[in-house]
Amino acid sequence: MAYQQRKPSNQIVPAGAPEGQKLSTIYLGNRAVDLVKRAIGDEKTARRMLTTLLTAVQNNTKLQECDPKSVINAALDGEVAKNLSLSNGEYYIIPYKQTASMQLSVRGLEKLCLRSRAYADVGAFDVREGEFKGLDPRTRRPIMEWITDLERREELPIIGYYAFYELSEKYNNMFRSVYWTHNMILGHANRHSNAFNLDTYNRLLNGEIQGWDAEKLRRGSPWYGEPLDMGHRAMCEKTVMKQLLKSGWAPKEINEIVDQDDALERTGEPIIRPEDIISTFPPATPEAREAVLSEAEPQEVKEPDQAPKKPTAAKEAPESPKEAEVPFSMFD
């Protein structure tokens, strides 16, 4: 039986406006575009980022309940502070109560590793039935025999995930790899991820949770996708990649990124947030909502000397990488 999508409990704009107009007025309005442009430096890029962000919010009812300022700040954390792309799937915007945070995807983590120049290659992917041949008796490294017939491979069930890296020539091209079964990954997520519960996931797969409740779980976290869903597979890939980076060699800045991501998964709240990049973006109050809906531009936005102060990390990091205490620039 078809289900009706429930409306979020806290309406962002006054009731009665069309559903699409509510969100688009917030995220594509003149004030939001102008404030994001001040952080990014280009109006076209700002509009493109906000359009992608709007799509993400429209597809996630929990994000619709978050303070729009925190949603946009989370996107600027990914786009500006780390120079990643939401449209390319290099990070996610995840809701936690009324606050949104930026969380790396496995693609974003791979990109940051390669950008550090410490790695020549890095990657993670699924393992199909029959490909894992055991562990080397001396090194305990996984022994894999990959199926080269891609059509036949796609028909086989996923039994686990494999991650590897090869360091750059500067570090003698050292190679490391790790293999975890799917059940090991789910158990790890159950213990360490605030967004996932294994018992709930098993009930979902068994059909005990249906309708809107099931859809809400799937929209709330990619962990709750079917085992073959791209979002679920990406979370599994990221889990084994992080375990490899933590158990092997990794430069200081990559270790810090992994630690921050772990903390975010455990609590839902980041341990390090960028400065309030758009501190004048109106909070979710009735008066502020009316201001967002207004076509009149605030005077303080028009006057450069009264414009919101941009954070050092967003603009000056490329010019002074030493201040960020990392040997590479995320803007490379």
Supply the pTM of this predicted model.
0.72
Per DSSP (E only), the strands in 27-147 are 91-96, 99-104, 119-128, 132-135, 142-144
pLDDT truncated to tens, each residue of the chain (332 aa)?
Answer: 333 333 333 333 323 334 444 788 888 888 888 888 888 888 899 999 999 999 989 888 788 888 888 899 999 989 888 899 998 989 988 888 788 889 899 999 999 999 999 999 999 999 999 999 999 999 899 999 999 999 999 999 999 999 999 999 988 999 999 999 999 999 999 999 888 999 999 999 999 999 989 988 887 788 999 999 999 999 999 999 999 999 888 888 899 989 988 888 887 665 444 443 444 343 333 343 343 333 333 333 333 344 444 444 444 434 433 333 333 333 34
| Tokens linked to 313 | 């990390």
- Nearest CA among 219, 245, 214, 243 for reference residue 231: 219
Place of tokens 């502070």: 81
Inter-CA distances, 244 with 18, 144, 186, 269, Å: 48, 16, 16, 24
Identity of the amino acid at 284? A
| Tokens linked to 12 | 């962002």
Q: What residues have CB less than 8 Å from 298, skipping those under 6 apart?
A: 31, 280, 291
Assess contact for 116 and 254: CB atoms under 8 A: yes
